[in-house]
Amino acid sequence: MIYPAADNRLKTKSWKDYENGPIINKEEGIRAWNWYLANPEDQQNSLAVPLLIKDFKNTPPTFILLSEHDPLRDEGQQLAENMKASGVQVKTVVYKEMVHGFMHMGSVLKETKKAVQEIAAFTKENLK
């Protein structure tokens, strides 16, 4: 998972810290969740909002990539902790000094190339 959007409440510390960006802001986050969950009953659907999942049994090993300066960082970390509590093997990597969207900047960032290599190595190691 690459900087996963896991909680539609947008109330984490990282959402507060990066409410105005960089790259994405809280207004855009609210708009995205409202677009994604257009039906009110979907707001509490654990298939749509991963932090609502109570048990991650049968979930394969998971790689979670986060950016230090990203409003999604804290919910990604919470998702990783929830998965670990269910016994899922999780590797979480927080890329320091990176912002949301850095994975689209491979032509200028060495961190993007490193992240792609880490994802590939994790995938190869966990394919069965």
Q: What is the mean pLDDT of the chain?
A: 97
Q: What integer is the mean pLDDT of 15-26?
A: 97
Is residue 128 scored above 80 in pLDDT? no
Peptide bond into 61 cis (omega under 30): no
Task: For residue 65, list its beta bridge partners.
Answer: 2, 93
Q: What integer is the mean pLDDT of 87-114?
A: 97
List the beta strands (DSSP E) in 1-128: 62-69, 90-99
pLDDT band at 44 (very low <50, low <70, confident <90, very high): very high
Q: What integer is the mean pLDDT of 80-92?
A: 98
Q: Which residues contact 24 (CB under 8 A, 6 or more apart)?
A: 18, 70, 71, 72, 100, 101
Is residue 118 scored above 90 in pLDDT? yes
Nearest to 24 by CA among 53, 67, 81: 67
Extract the tokens encoding 124.
């190869």
Share of the chain above pLDDT 90, in %: 99
Is residue 86 scored above 80 in pLDDT? yes
Q: How far apart are CA 84 and CA 89, in angstroms?
A: 6
Q: How far apart are CA 71 and CA 110, in angstroms?
A: 22
